[in-house]
Amino acid sequence: MTSRRIIRWYLWLTKASKLSSFRESESVKQFVNILTFPALDKLAFTYDDDEDKWLTHDVIYWPPTTMNAFIERSACNLTVLIIQTVSISDTDLLSFLYATPLLQVLHVHEPNPGNLDKDSKAILSFPITAVFLQNMTAYMAIFTRQKLLPMLEELSLTIHHRKFYQDDFVCMVTSRYHSLGFEYLSTVKLTLGSKDDPWTGEEESIDIDDLARSLDDGFDLRWFKW
């Protein structure tokens, strides 16, 4: 590779504002470990399975140390984060989110166990837990002395792990609706299950439709259960 091409490649990397799609967990580490994206504002961490979406496959695992070092090294102002079909724990996700205070759009879609082989299912992590929802609550800043995603305006969650903590979800949404020091969370989308893996999990007694009716007309809350 000529020096001119190397310089051009470096300039593209330093100016890149969007990074998306991975296919193997190991390639994620190798790729991210050597790069810095100071201009990055959109990150889509997804499993690219368009070619074999009907087959069982390995899941992409979130490398917490690698990703936290990457975001710190890049010192970028991330505003959009999409995590889809990725095995990530609630604590690892929270750790990354605390490092992205300017985030405005967050989409977290849990991996679908129905698309995975038996061995992958056994070690799968699902991030949308009670711990995650409680930490996302605006009131938690009183105890942690640190606001989590104070600029968040749009949130989309897809849950597959057969337990939905409705109390914590409702508390999180209402706390961010009008809270001092937090942006107006105006759009929330919640999906339970999927077309090829219908929801059969536990549900509590709270009617999310009641939550939608209790908020102003300007708030867009959509939820769907397969």
Give me 84's structure tokens.
């889809």
What is the mean pLDDT, run by run of 10 residues, along the chain of 226 residues?
42 55 61 83 75 51 91 93 92 97 96 71 85 94 88 94 85 85 89 76 62 70 79
Place of tokens 């057969």: 162
Give me 97's structure tokens.
């989110």
Q: What does the domain layout of the chain look like in residue ranges?
A: 17-225
Match domain 17-225 to its CATH number in 3.10.150.10, 3.80.10.10, 3.50.50.60, 3.40.50.300.
3.80.10.10
pTM of the model: 0.84
Phi, then psi, of 14 in degrees rounded to 5? -70, -20
- pLDDT, residue 2, reads 43
* pLDDT tens figures, 31-70: 778 888 888 899 888 865 554 443 345 567 898 999 999 9
188, 204, 194, 206: which is closest to 161 by C-alpha? 194
The bridge status of strand 154-159 relative to strand 187-192 is: parallel
Cβ neighbours of residue 90 under 8 Å, at least 6 residues apart?
126, 127, 128, 129, 131, 132
- pLDDT, residue 5, reads 43
Q: What angle do CA 70, 129, 145 make, to 5 degrees?
A: 65
CA 150, CA 54: separation in Å to the nearest integer?
Answer: 38
